[in-house]
Structures are given as structure tokens and as C-alpha cells.
Amino acid sequence: MGLASHLGPWRLGTVKSTTGTTAGTINNMGVTQCIQKKAVAFGDTAASTAFVLPAGAMILGAQLYATTAFTTGSTGTLKLSIGATDITATTTITGSSGVGVFNLALTGLSAAAAALLLNVGTTDAIVTYTMSTLTAGAGTIAIEYAVCLADGTYNPTAQTV
């Protein structure tokens, strides 16, 4: 498998600038979707670093891929945060949760969290995760995001070298 690195967003499409009002003449370019993932285990109870997202990134979704069923002493929880702001709702994990893909909710959050989902800020953002009271289990947390410019836009006004 090959890896690549690049600076800034990749804009994809066939029409960069709007020159008309019909399909084929209206800007149809967008940015690519990216993911990062982090293996987690039941013992990861303190706030642990999961990912570092590039400045300006827009968060599209987050999932837990449970590969070994998590079990709990009582009720286990998982959440993602940037700084002191939770960017996912606290997800409850029970012994009956089993294995599979679990969506980490990006709803029911504060206004500050909603702003971070749209734009993580003008500097790279460290995303942490916190799990509690889990007594067994393992999996992978994945976060989906779009790479944007540091100000959250994806259409530069000028080219810089």
C-alpha cells in the first residue's frame, strides 16, 4: 500500500469557476474525504490522543469498529473531544453491544462543538478519546473529515508557492 502526503485540499471536478447557469458551466468542484484511525482497547480509560486533524478540517463522521466485544463493569462510555469540547455525544457501550460498526453521534452537542465540526480551527487539532468502566474489548476508532484551508474554506483566492 502506498501513502502520499500533500499540502492543502485537493479540489476535484471539471469546472473550477462559474461561467454560466447550466450544468457544465457552474463550479462543480469539491474536496476529498479522508479518514484517520486509531486502535483502542478496554484499558484506555484516560483522555488519550487519537488523531491530529489538519487546520481547517471539517469533521464528517466518527465510528467505532468493535472487533472484540466490549464488556463493562456497569455502563461503559466512549467520546471524542478537541480540547475541553466534546465533538461526539457520549456513546454507551454495554456487554450486549457485540462486535461491528457503531456510529459516534455528532448530534445533541454544544454550539462550540458544532463550530469545531465545521472547522477544527486555524491550527492543527488534537482529537482525544475517553473510555470508562470497560473490562474487555478492542476495536478501532475512525474519524472522517474533509481537508480544507486553515480558514475552513476550500477555494483559495490566490495561488501561493
CATH of the domain at 114: 2.60.120
Asked if residues 149 and 160 have their Cβ atoms less than 8 Å apart, the reply is no
Evaluate whether residue 89 is within a structural domain.
yes
Give the model's pLDDT for residue 48: 87
Query: 47, 56, 38, 55: which is closest to 79 by C-alpha?
Result: 47
110 assigned to some structural domain = yes
How many C-beta atoms lie closer than 10 Å to residue 150's C-beta? 16
What global pTM score does this model have?
Answer: 0.81
From 137, 25, 123, select the one nearest 83 (Cα to Cα). Answer: 123
Q: Which residue has the cell 473529515?
A: 145
Output the pLDDT for position 28.
78
- At residue 96, does pLDDT exceed 90? no
Range name among 56-65, 84-93, 94-103 with the lowest pLDDT average = 94-103
Q: How many domains does the chain have?
A: 1
CA atoms of 78 and 123, how far apart (whole Å): 25
Whether pLDDT at 26 is above 70? yes
Mean pLDDT, residues 2-11 taken together: 65
Query: How many residues make up the chain in this entry?
Result: 161
